[in-house]
């Protein structure tokens, strides 16, 4: 593949949450996108990048000319442990520290970093990495959030705002773990009859706050999109003329269908 052909490709930056299962899921999606002709920059934290190199060998992440790996810091103290980092600390650090280095990395793609690296055209982000919403707005590119959870896990996280309203979460002191509080039955979740509070994950303070902030950012963005859609399809909106044409042609086509009779003949 020539340099000029590579430089003309759409360029997606894929960034998973910083734990193994999320990284594997995002990597599979990135491979599918690459197979469809998308230039991929896969962003790991420095900690996870080093773990991969140590496990797989120094050449394991060299990638292809149009599939490469980059890193950003996670904001935690350097560590040589061969295990997933402390999740509450990781969530808190991600929330506070990852936007700036991610923006700095992505900004280089649109500043002529290399003649064979195409400009950034989209961000594919883990659903928990909601700082990418602000990054996408700053860079002027779309962002797609990829949720790696099972349906029951997603539904569990979807209840967090209700748990907060009911005073059931986040968990308080250690007594809430031993006083029967976690046996509280949550009887309003569709398809999850009999589920208890302790069956949900990540109800501790830092993780709970991380998920709630992610949900609030997503909700804010959805409301913005809704307002933009309503404005665009309104009487003076940018899409109103096209929408009127669509309605007209649809009605015309339906009218033609109702004014003609059709018969099906066996052959």
Per domain, the residue ranges of the chain are 8-148, 151-236
Spatial separation of the C-alpha atoms in residues 148 and 89, rounded to whole Å:
21
The answer to whether residue 145 is catalytic is: no
In the set 18, 34, 66, 126, the catalytic residue is 126
Q: What is the pLDDT along the chain (267 residues), one digit of tens a residue?
A: 555 566 678 999 999 998 888 999 999 999 999 999 999 999 999 988 888 777 666 665 566 789 999 999 988 887 767 667 777 788 888 888 999 999 999 998 877 666 688 999 999 999 888 889 899 999 999 999 898 878 877 777 777 778 778 877 776 665 566 667 788 888 888 888 888 887 876 666 566 666 666 666 666 666 666 676 666 666 666 555 655 666 665 655 555 544 443 333 444
- Tokens matching residue 80: 């040589």
The structure's pTM equals 0.67
Spatial separation of the C-alpha atoms in residues 126 and 184, rounded to whole Å:
31
pLDDT digits (tens, 9 = 90+) for 201-221: 666 656 666 666 666 666 666
Spatial separation of the C-alpha atoms in residues 194 and 188, rounded to whole Å:
9
Spatial separation of the C-alpha atoms in residues 82 and 164, rounded to whole Å:
35
In the set 22, 34, 66, 74, the catalytic residue is 22
**3-state class (DSSP) for residue 105:** helix
pLDDT score for 153: 76
| Strands in 58-175 per DSSP E | 67-72, 122-126, 143-146
Location of structure tokens 């230039």: 39
| 123 alpha-carbon distance from chain centroid | 9
- Tokens matching residue 233: 């399809």
| Class (C level, CATH) for 8-148 | alpha beta
The answer to whether residue 18 is catalytic is: no
């Amino acid at each position: 593949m020539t340099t000029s052909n590579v430089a003309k490709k759409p360029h997606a930056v894929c960034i998973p949450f910083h734990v193994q299962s999320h990284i594997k899921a995002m990597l599979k999606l990135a491979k599918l996108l690459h197979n469809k002709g998308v230039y991929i920059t896969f962003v790991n934290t420095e900690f996870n990048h080093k773990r991969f190199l140590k496990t797989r060998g120094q050449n394991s992440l060299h990638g292809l000319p149009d599939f490469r790996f980059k890193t950003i810091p996670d904001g935690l103290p350097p560590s040589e442990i061969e295990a997933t980092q402390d999740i509450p600390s990781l969530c808190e650090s991600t929330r506070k520290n990852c936007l700036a280095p991610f923006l700095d990395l992505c900004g280089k793609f649109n500043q002529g970093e290399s003649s064979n690296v195409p400009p950034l055209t989209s961000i594919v982000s883990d659903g928990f990495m909601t700082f990418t919403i602000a990054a996408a707005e700053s860079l002027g590119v779309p962002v797609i959030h990829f949720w790696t959870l099972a349906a029951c896990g997603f539904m569990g996280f979807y209840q967090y705002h209700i748990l907060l309203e009911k005073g059931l979460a986040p968990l308080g002191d250690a007594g809430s773990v031993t006083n029967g509080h976690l046996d509280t039955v949550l009887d309003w979740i569709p398809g999850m009859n009999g589920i208890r509070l302790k069956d949900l994950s990540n109800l501790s303070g830092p993780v709970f706050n991380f998920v709630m902030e992610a949900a609030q950012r997503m909700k804010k963005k959805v409301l913005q999109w809704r307002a933009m859609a309503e404005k665009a399809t309104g009487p003076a909106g940018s899409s109103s003329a096209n929408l009127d044409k669509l309605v007209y042609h649809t009605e015309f086509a339906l009218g033609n269908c109702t004014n003609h009779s059709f018969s099906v003949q066996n052959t």
